[in-house]
Amino acid sequence: MSQIVNCPTCGSKAKSKVDNDVTTYEAVQDEEAFKKVEQLKKALGKFKAKAEELEAELKAIRTI
């Protein structure tokens, strides 16, 4: 996922991407889109934590 940062040139919200040690910035035009990106990041974090928890539980079951 892209990182949302402040653009060093114009100061607006932008998606940051590093490719071959070159950082590029793409402006986020819509404030609502920015909020949706944050919501998706939070949801993905919760899903990842739950998946890791289930993997640990499965590993514990397999060792029995």
Position 2 scores a pLDDT of 63
Position 64 scores a pLDDT of 80
Tokens for 25? 């910035």
Q: What is the pTM of this model?
A: 0.49
The answer to whether 17 touches 27, Cβ cutoff 8 Å, is no
Position 40 scores a pLDDT of 92
| Digitized pLDDT (tens) for each residue of the chain, 64 residues in all | 567 788 888 877 888 888 888 888 887 777 777 788 889 999 999 999 999 999 999 999 998 8
* Distance of alpha carbon 31 from alpha carbon 13, whole angstroms: 9
* Distance of alpha carbon 27 from alpha carbon 7, whole angstroms: 8
**Domain segments of the chain as ranges:** 3-62
